[in-house]
Chain A
Amino acid sequence: MLLIHCPYCEDDRPELEFANAGQAHVVRPSHMSEMSDEDFEGMFFIRDNPKGVNLERWRHIHGCGRFFNAVRHTVTDKFLKVYRAGEPRPTDAELAELLK
């Protein structure tokens, strides 16, 4: 069982308190009606499935209830970083640094 650090509670809590909420940084456009079918497909249906660093959303559903983002390594299952919803996606350089 994983221990996950909630960036709102600022505490390590057991995995049982959390729910995964899919890929992070998928932006819902403000003018969705004007999206092309291809763009909508990419936004709603197509998801990354990386071997390695994955940026994903979690919800501390049985805790504070907040959604947040995490950088998790899909091979080692290690959480490399967690950050609050709305904070920017880590740059590629930052991600490379986390992997060291």
Chain B
Amino acid sequence: MTRIPARGSRLGTKTISFTFDGKTYEGIEGDTLASALIANGVHLMGRSFKYHRPRGAIAAGAEEPNALVNVFRDSARRQPNVRATVQEIYDGLKAESQNRFPSLAFDVGAVNNLMSPALVAGFYYKTFKWPAKAWDHVYEPFIRRAAGLGEAPTEEDPDHYANRYAHCDVVVIGGGPAGLMAAKCAADKGNSVIVCDENAAFGGWLLSDTDLRVDGMSGAEWAAAMVAELQANDNVRMLNRTTGFGYFQQNMVGLTERITDHVSRPAPDLPRERMWQVRAGRVIIAQGAIERHMVFPGNDLPGVMLAGAAQTFLNKFGVPVGERIGVYTACDTAYAAAFDLYEVGCEIPVIVDHRTEVDAQILKQAEDLGIEVIKGGHISEVTGRLRIGGIVVKSGADTEREWDVDALIMSAGWTPSLHLSSQSRAKPVWDETRGIFLPGESPQACICIGGCNGTDELADVFAQAAESVGGKAPKCKIEDDVSTSGGMSGATGDSLQKGKAFVDYQNDVTAKDIALAVREGMHSIEHVKRYTTNGMATDQGKLSNMHGLAIAADLLDKPIPQVGLTTFRAPYTPTTFGGFVGHTKGSLFDPRRKTPIHDWAAENGAEFEPVSLWDRAWYFPRRGETMHEAVDRECRTVRETAGIFDASTLGKIEVAGPDAAAFMNIMYTNGWDKLKPGRAKYGIMCREDGFIYDDGVVGKLAADRFHVTTTTGGAPRVLNHMEDYLQTEFPHMRVWLTSTTEQWATIAVQGPRAREIIKPLVKGVNLNSESLSHMSVSECEICGVPARLFRISFTGELGFEINVAADYGRSVWEAVWARAEPLGACVYGTEAMHVLRAEKGFIIVGQDTDGTVTPHDAGLSWAIAKSKPDFVGKRGLQRPDLVKAGRRQLVGLKTSDPKKVLQEGAQIVANPDQPIPMDMLGFVTSSYWSGTLKHSIAMALIEGGFDRMGEKLYVPMEDETIEVEVTGSVFYDPNGDKVND
């Protein structure tokens, strides 16, 4: 293993063992997977997406496009597309390369590389066009197989993720020299500060630079001192391993903190990640800059990497990236990297500088070290298969020279990282002299400082950092600061015509692809991007955008800003779904509401169905019963004896106040003035457009108090609707609205023996029809607790609904059941309730109505008060389309074959022999088998339905046509005698 003991600012002392593709390697505490592999001489880390070309790490940080691996702890904890340059190693870490079969060194998919002339930009658009039939069986399966990076885990993620909100005066994104200085200056002024950095250690580039001295300290020492100072300040929160991934409205930034990904055996109670939503008075973006690669043929061979990355591997991790290292650059910083490597004993056979003019002092330094510099040259070819073996350099008068190398470091200059600035909706500004985009002014309270602002000299960075928070930087003595001057964007040599010079590594986009896109008419960068997929990979073009743009601009002969820079979107780097989800999964994502009687139902064998957020008892099968048999039995028992039913989910709203009746007059179509206290009424609520919004029985308890019930799913929107009118249209009304859904447990007792069942339990009201007639309500005592007892029926039988405080719900239910069971009554669920109500033609809002049905359409004209001057929906009901003939109206249907049960939603036609598409008259809204009536029953919305009584219509199904007869919708006890028993 090659290490330079004197280097490696980030290394600890412990040896750590890990596996890559099943082979065990050793690294050192502090290593990333990439640095540890390179230390072991492994540069080949993955295969590319399209051509399956061998790839190694190009970068040393978050911008890495190539070295994507699958890291896993067990079968459920598998994370694909982890950048080996970011993943810290831990004892027992298991990593696998991706996108290769059968092995990384021999990959069958590499045949794509030979087919590459056919796989150029726009390949998909040109190839998968026709014939249309080929889509289902050929193209789509092919694309699906080829698409995607890595493999998603198939098991549920067993880890948990935390979420935190935070507020602070200043949040600093990036803990390099700029970020640390800004944090210090902000904290010195008494601000609350959060500063985050995506790396394990703060310091940014300072940890990779061994020459620089700040007040006599090395960069790493200076950073450590700053970190210590900041950590000692209670007003400062330091978050390492934390990426500022998104910039949202009103100065909210999203941070994702990785807590256990670097830990060998994480404590089980630790979240894997914590997502921070930080609202800051001021956002300081100190994201730094990202080095660009050089675009030349073969620039993707393992062993070719960014000069800054090589410097990082050496100075942070003590790993020289090769023994004989070539340099290809257009920027001064690569020289510093080369000199560093030279210093530790690497051979630097040549520095190829794309520029013709190079700073004399730098050239002198190279000369002193005996390193040959070729100015105005370019690399025309590289040799090697799984690792670079040599370079061919052209310069001046087409002379070609070759060098053997085992690594090549390159730099085309530094791109200020505009991601977060762009997300804050700042427009980038083009700097023509330096050939870079700089952050423009943001509409939000944020400032970019340091590398991401294109600032070069460290002294300027410090001054800017201080200024950004209105502070003053301490005077520092800065020595040996390396300039980032120089740089170029675009292709070099004749790589637009020849060879594979990669612009975008992750999506395998070459310089030639960009040229082809321009030739084929893509003139805006947005089109070029989509046609070639340049910059559309998971790295969002951190390396490739500027090159792609420059190539397109050059070919179009337009200035770069006119071709345009694409907008950056969150997240800055891939962010796990788990972090966004946090704790809101399972029952915390989709909470289930349970009634006070739920547990009793569960203990007594109920099957449940979800109704809005509620779990409702659906039916109560006895041993061996099918659902159909259970529902039949429950219905029959209710009709013959009695049944009890948990109706607690019904929405309930208490409407109280001196103007309660006047308010009810506005909100419901019915009249409420004449209703006497103690009486109840079926009410319909419309929207202003005249369509049914909700319905329910309303009990008038006193002149100024109504007990309103709503549909189970409708309660929240009905209350919102009422509040809206009360607060904004009728604020003068003295009315108070209170949701009481969960305060009352509601027990329906229905059937001929209902009175007999509850009689001994009730005190304070006589249950005979004289004192408590059908559609009445009484406040009384049941089982010794205060109750509201309704005499109402949703079954067509003699019925009561007992409301008691929810806490008493279960005991009252049990008391009622203790009375009911010996009499032969049953407990019934929602399915039987549906059959029973349908037999009576009672509608369910949302099932028999769909938001386009008026009370008239539903046959409920009787519930509309004629004399009221105003109610919500009154004007809407007069609209021409709502009063014209031929509207769909709610009717009953009987199938000619009584055993045939229609499908809900089935369409209805007059003539089944007409050609397709047929004229649809309407559709089935409710359909059941009625055990009581011994035939199927259905309700349907049919054009002009009320005038079609007795008419035969047809329901065409896939395999048959069903004949039906239009009837009234009340199938059972049409005169309604039973409820008055």
| A, B from the same assembly | yes
CB neighbours of B875 from chain A (8 A): 32-33, 35, 40
CB neighbours of B729 from chain A (8 A): 28
B738 smallest CB distance to A (angstroms): 11
Q: A1-B248, A1-B252 are in contact. Are A32 and B870 (CB under 8 A)?
A: yes
- Judged by a CB distance under 8 angstroms, whether B148 is at the interface is no
A/B pair count, beta carbons within 8 Å: 52
Q: Which of A43-90 contact B (CB under 8 A)?
A: 44, 57, 59, 61, 65-67, 76-78, 85-86
- Judged by a CB distance under 8 angstroms, whether A3 is at the interface is yes
| Interface stretch (choices B80-88, B511-519, B523-531, B876-884) | B876-884
Q: Is the CB of B727 within 8 A of A67?
A: yes
- Judged by a CB distance under 8 angstroms, whether A98 is at the interface is no
CB neighbours of B481 from chain A (8 A): none
A67 smallest CB distance to B (angstroms): 5
Q: A33-B870, A40-B876, A61-B720 are in contact. Are A76 and B252 (CB under 8 A)?
A: no
Q: A33-B878, A37-B880 are in contact. Are A67 and B728 (CB under 8 A)?
A: yes
Q: A40-B876, A44-B688 are in contact. Are A33 and B252 (CB under 8 A)?
A: no
- Judged by a CB distance under 8 angstroms, whether A2 is at the interface is yes
Interface SS of chain A: loop
- Interface residues on chain A, size class: 20 to 34
A83 smallest CB distance to B (angstroms): 13
Q: Which of B843-885 contact A (CB under 8 A)?
A: 869-870, 874-876, 878-880
CB neighbours of B876 from chain A (8 A): 40, 44
A68 smallest CB distance to B (angstroms): 9
CB neighbours of B723 from chain A (8 A): 59, 65, 67
Q: Smallest CB-CB separation from B725: which chain A residue?
A: A28
Docked complex Cα distance between A58 and B870 (Å):
26
Docked complex Cα distance between A1 and B879 (Å):
40
Q: Which of A7-62 contact B (CB under 8 A)?
A: 19, 21, 28, 30-33, 35, 37, 40, 44, 57, 59, 61
Docked complex Cα distance between A16 and B249 (Å):
14
Partner of B731, one of A31, A37, A61, A86: A86
Partner of B874, one of A1, A19, A32, A57: A32
Partner of A57, one of B277, B728, B870: B728
Q: Is the CB of A76 within 8 A of B724?
A: no
CB neighbours of A2 from chain B (8 A): 249-250
Docked complex Cα distance between A40 and B880 (Å):
12
- Judged by a CB distance under 8 angstroms, whether B774 is at the interface is no
Docked complex Cα distance between A40 and B877 (Å):
11
Q: Which of B698-721 contact A (CB under 8 A)?
A: 720
CB neighbours of A28 from chain B (8 A): 688, 729
Q: Is the CB of A3 within 8 A of B727?
A: no
Q: Is the CB of B879 within 8 A of A40?
A: yes
Partner of B869, one of A33, A61, A86: A33
B256 smallest CB distance to A (angstroms): 16
CB neighbours of A65 from chain B (8 A): 723
B719 smallest CB distance to A (angstroms): 9
- Judged by a CB distance under 8 angstroms, whether B107 is at the interface is no
Q: Is the CB of A3 within 8 A of B728?
A: no
CB neighbours of B720 from chain A (8 A): 19, 59, 61
A79 smallest CB distance to B (angstroms): 9
Partner of A85, one of B443, B731, B879: B731
Q: Which of A85-100 contact B (CB under 8 A)?
A: 85-86
CB neighbours of B878 from chain A (8 A): 33
Q: Is the CB of B250 within 8 A of A3?
A: yes
- Judged by a CB distance under 8 angstroms, whether B169 is at the interface is no
Docked complex Cα distance between A100 and B248 (Å):
23
Docked complex Cα distance between A16 and B337 (Å):
50
Docked complex Cα distance between A35 and B279 (Å):
48
Q: A32-B875, A40-B875 are in contact. Are A76 and B870 (CB under 8 A)?
A: no
- Judged by a CB distance under 8 angstroms, whether B607 is at the interface is no
Q: Smallest CB-CB separation from A3: which chain B residue?
A: B250
Q: Is the CB of B874 within 8 A of A85?
A: no
Q: Is the CB of A85 within 8 A of B688?
A: no
Q: A33-B878, A59-B720 are in contact. Are A85 and B250 (CB under 8 A)?
A: no
- Judged by a CB distance under 8 angstroms, whether B689 is at the interface is yes
Q: Which of B429-452 contact A (CB under 8 A)?
A: 443
CB neighbours of A35 from chain B (8 A): 875
Q: A32-B875, A61-B720, A86-B731 are in contact. Are A3 and B279 (CB under 8 A)?
A: yes
CB neighbours of B879 from chain A (8 A): 37, 40
CB neighbours of A85 from chain B (8 A): 727-728, 731
Docked complex Cα distance between A77 and B248 (Å):
11
A62 smallest CB distance to B (angstroms): 11
Q: A2-B249, A32-B874, A33-B870 are in contact. Are A44 and B689 (CB under 8 A)?
A: yes
CB neighbours of B443 from chain A (8 A): 76
Docked complex Cα distance between A40 and B688 (Å):
10
Q: Is the CB of A1 within 8 A of B728?
A: no
B278 smallest CB distance to A (angstroms): 11
Interface centre among A2, A28, A65 (most CB of B within 10 A): A28
Q: Is the CB of A66 within 8 A of B874?
A: no
A77 smallest CB distance to B (angstroms): 5
CB neighbours of A57 from chain B (8 A): 728
B185 smallest CB distance to A (angstroms): 26
B13 smallest CB distance to A (angstroms): 45
CB neighbours of B248 from chain A (8 A): 1
A39 smallest CB distance to B (angstroms): 10
Partner of A66, one of B249, B250, B277, B727: B727
Q: Smallest CB-CB separation from A15: which chain B residue?
A: B249
CB neighbours of A67 from chain B (8 A): 723-724, 727-728
Docked complex Cα distance between A2 and B729 (Å):
28
Interface centre among B249, B277, B425 (most CB of A within 10 A): B249
CB neighbours of A66 from chain B (8 A): 727
Docked complex Cα distance between A66 and B723 (Å):
8
Partner of B724, one of A3, A21, A33, A40: A21
Docked complex Cα distance between A45 and B720 (Å):
20
Docked complex Cα distance between A67 and B880 (Å):
32
B583 smallest CB distance to A (angstroms): 15
Interface centre among A3, A32, A44, A67 (most CB of B within 10 A): A32
Docked complex Cα distance between A31 and B614 (Å):
40
CB neighbours of B869 from chain A (8 A): 33
CB neighbours of B727 from chain A (8 A): 66-67, 85
B928 smallest CB distance to A (angstroms): 37
Docked complex Cα distance between A33 and B875 (Å):
5
Docked complex Cα distance between A28 and B687 (Å):
13
Provide the B729-757 mask, 1 if CB < 8 A to any CB of A, else 0. 10100000000000000000000000000
B899 smallest CB distance to A (angstroms): 46
CB neighbours of A1 from chain B (8 A): 248-250, 252, 277
Docked complex Cα distance between A63 and B248 (Å):
23
CB neighbours of B874 from chain A (8 A): 32-33
Q: Smallest CB-CB separation from A22: which chain B residue?
A: B724
The 6 lowest CB-CB distance pairs between A and B, nearest first, are A32-B875, A67-B727, A85-B728, A28-B729, A77-B249, A3-B250
Between-chain CB contacts (< 8 Å), 6 pairs: A32-B875, A33-B875, A40-B876, A40-B879, A57-B728, A77-B249
| New A-B pairs, 20, CB < 8 Å, besides A2-B249, A44-B689, A86-B728 | A1-B249, A1-B250, A2-B250, A3-B279, A19-B720, A21-B724, A30-B870, A32-B870, A32-B874, A32-B875, A33-B869, A33-B878, A35-B875, A37-B880, A44-B688, A61-B720, A65-B723, A66-B727, A67-B723, A76-B443
Chain B residues with CB under 8 Å of chain A are 248-250, 252, 277, 279, 425, 443, 688-689, 720, 723-724, 727-729, 731, 869-870, 874-876, 878-880
